Amino acid sequence: MAVLPIITGQDNPVLRKKNAAVPFVSKEIKKLIKDMEDTVNAADGAGLAAPQINQSIRLCLALISGQIVPLINPEIMWRSVEKEILEEGCLSLPKIWRNIERHLGIIIQYTDVKGQPQERKLTGFDARAVQHELDHLDGVLIVDYPELKINKEESKENSVL
């Protein structure tokens, strides 16, 4: 078990860098995924992207159907027209909360930990978590989104991603 330090701060250059595709699922990548699982569980987060632990590669974990799923080189292939606004937090931006409009449904393609290509359709919280993590892979943070006003009662859940 290895819990890795999480990089914080909206101006941290590591969180703003371009991230390179993972060429193949090596032993080192599998070990990194294990450590990232330990890290996101210890932080009680719903997701974690490699740049948050100082690795500039296109790898993230996201909570999907209640399980932390590693996504290697994930890409969004389709986005629903319908969107939803909910409050989000980020492990790299402690104490910052932002109402973010996200697509309610997405279809993603990614490589799994066995090196196999996968495709999944996600909705609701699952789709939101993955959109948040994919933003990290492009150096985008929740503070980059416009401030949206929301009726507090409409905000069903807070999520730290």
Beta strand segments in the chain, E = 47-49, 59-64, 67-79, 83-89, 98-103, 105-111, 117-123, 159-160
Comparing CA positions, the residue from 70, 45, 54 lying closest to residue 19 is 54
Task: Determine the residue type at 88.
Answer: E
Q: Is 32 in the site for Zn ion (CB under 5 A)?
A: no
Q: Which of 90, 100, 106, 122: binder of Zn ion (CB under 5 A)?
A: 90
Cβ at position 68, least distance to Zn ion in Å: 14
- Of the candidate spans 32-40, 59-67, 85-93, 143-151, the one that interacts with Zn ion by CB under 5 A turns out to be 85-93
161 near Zn ion, judged by CB under 5 A: yes
d(CA 75, CA 79): 11
Q: Is 63 in the site for Zn ion (CB under 5 A)?
A: no
Is 133 tagged catalytic? yes
- Helix (DSSP H) and strand (DSSP E) numbers for the chain: 3, 8
- Tell me the window of 58-66, 70-78, 90-98, 108-116 that interacts with Zn ion (CB under 5 A): 90-98
Q: Which residues bind Zn ion (CB under 5 A)?
A: 90, 161
Residues designated as active site:
133
